[in-house]
Every structure is written in structure tokens, then in C-alpha cells.
């Protein structure tokens, strides 16, 4: 039943998140902690494994749609790959405790959720001044570092920033998911190497990661196929609301004295 739950969760989350370029790992974390009982800090590399397994489904569909073109994906990848490696090291050696981890997760999810809600309620104007290449690389490096700590690859954080400047979702979604996919490979490999030299639950939980990823593989394909038929405003508002609620839950559980273990 655990594997069935993992598969179904990965599928449902990916159907909703992949049309806007979010892998779904950002919403998978609380399920791993509370339902699937994956310990800290193994939840982070398990999330990265989910991205690796689930990513090709949506990317294959976006490629068939002719959307995996242009320099945006290459710029995001160039910044997020080194960032996610740095984030993995920080996660293992600087943020090992569950309480601090929840605070960090809330700090990431709350602004992300509010930003998505704001963009959904007040759609962005067309992008009149595209970000310079250096600015995109700098943002990608920062997002990759945070993504390495949280286990979301980095592309999930860059999507809302680009969307806020008016970049069409048809360009953002495939580029962000491509960056998430490749940075997750780098992040998962880094955690695997750290697990060989560091004690604790650092290695990913393979059965959970593979089961969630298999569901995400199917869900990502379906979500990418549905993207042309789904209103962007509704999807962004839904994602923003979910991220905001999750951030509030993490803040509450981190502040409560009884939240000592994940």
C-alpha cells in the first residue's frame, strides 16, 4: 500500500504542476514526511530521485509539441547545476535537523506561494525588458542552491520569477522542467557520494523515490499534454494557494515544541 500511495501521489501532483513548469517535488515533501515516513535528511535526495524519474514524461511531451527550443533552458541549466551541488553540501552539514529544515522549507514556500497568487490575480504584462544573461545565471545559481537544500532541483523556483516578468508559460514550463531534471541528477549523485562518507540517513529511499517518480512520469506527460487547454490563471492560483498553506503548516510544526522529529 505504501508503494501504491507513493505512485498515486506522484501522479496526481505531477498532473497539476507540470503544465506550469513545476516538477511537483515541492509538494511531495510533506507526503514523504507524514505519510510515507521517509526520515530527514533522506527526504531531500528522495525528492531529487523523484525529479529524475518523473521528468522525462513531461519533457517528452513538450519536445513533441516543439517547445524545447531556444536558449532559456541552457541558461537555467548552466546556473542551477553547480548551485544544486552546493545546496546538497549545505543540507547535509549545515541544516541536518528537522526543525530548521521546516523553517527553511516555509521560508521558500511562503514567498513562492504568495508570488504565484499575486501573478494569478493580477496577470503580468508582456516582458518589455528581458533579463540579461548574467542576471538569469545569477538567479539560476541561487535557485539551484536553494533547490539542492530542499530537493526541488531549482527550476521550480525560477518559473515564478520568469512568469512575473511576463514570459509565456509555453516557454517557461519546458525550460524550468529541463533545468530541474538535469540539476536533480547532479544533486542526487552528490547526495550519493556524501552518503559514502557521512553517517545518517543521507542516501535516498529508493523504493519510495522510484514509486513516486513512476507516478510522476505518467502524470507529467498527462499534464504537459493538457497544458494548451488549461487556463494559466487557475493553475497559478492553485499552486500559489497550495504552497502558501504548506508554508503555514511548516511554520506551525516548527514552532511547536512537540515537532522534534520528522
pTM greater than 0.85 (yes/no): no
Residues with pLDDT less than 50, the chain: 127, 258-262
Q: Is the dihedral of CA 121, 125, 127, 128 positive or negative?
A: negative
Contacts of 192 by beta carbon, 8 Å cutoff, 6+ apart: 45, 203, 204
Query: What was the pLDDT predicted at 217?
Result: 95
pLDDT in tens, 7-34: 999 999 899 888 888 777 777 877 887 7
Asked if 39 and 201 count as a contact pair (C-beta separation under 8 A), the reply is: yes
The string of pLDDT tens digits covering residues 239-248 is 778 778 878 8
Domain segments of the chain as ranges:
2-255
Amino acid at each position: 500500500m505504501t508503494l501504491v500511495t507513493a505512485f498515486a501521489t506522484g501522479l496526481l501532483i505531477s498532473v497539476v504542476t507540470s503544465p506550469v513548469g513545476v516538477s511537483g517535488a515541492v509538494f511531495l515533501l510533506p507526503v514523504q514526511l507524514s505519510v510515507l515516513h521517509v526520515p530527514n535528511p533522506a527526504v531531500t535526495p528522495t525528492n531529487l530521485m523523484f525529479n529524475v524519474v518523473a521528468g522525462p514524461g513531461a519533457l517528452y511531451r513538450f519536445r513533441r509539441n516543439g517547445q524545447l527550443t531556444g536558449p532559456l533552458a541552457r541558461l537555467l541549466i548552466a546556473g542551477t547545476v553547480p548551485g544544486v551541488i552546493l545546496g546538497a553540501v549545505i543540507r547535509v552539514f549545515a541544516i541536518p535537523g528537522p526543525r530548521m529544515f521546516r523553517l527553511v522549507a516555509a521560508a521558500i514556500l511562503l514567498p513562492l506561494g504568495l508570488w504565484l497568487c499575486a501573478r494569478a490575480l493580477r496577470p503580468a504584462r508582456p516582458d518589455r525588458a528581458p533579463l540579461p544573461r548574467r542576471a538569469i545565471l545569477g538567479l539560476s545559481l541561487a535557485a539551484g542552491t536553494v533547490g539542492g537544500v530542499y530537493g526541488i532541483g531549482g527550476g521550480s523556483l525560477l518559473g515564478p520569477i520568469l512568469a512575473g516578468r511576463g514570459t509565456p508559460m509555453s516557454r517557461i514550463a519546458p525550460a524550468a522542467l529541463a533545468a530541474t531534471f538535469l540539476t536533480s541528477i547532479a544533486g542526487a549523485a552528490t547526495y550519493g557520494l556524501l552518503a559514502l562518507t557521512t553517517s545518517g540517513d543521507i542516501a535516498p529511499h529508493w523504493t519510495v523515490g522510484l514509486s513516486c517518480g513512476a507516478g510522476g512520469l505518467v502524470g507529467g506527460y498527462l499534464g504537459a499534454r493538457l497544458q494548451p487547454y488549461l487556463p494559466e490563471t487557475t493553475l497559478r492560483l492553485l499552486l500559489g494557494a497550495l504552497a502558501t498553506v504548506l508554508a503555514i503548516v511548516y511554520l506551525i510544526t516548527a514552532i511547536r515544541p512537540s515537532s522534534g522529529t520528522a
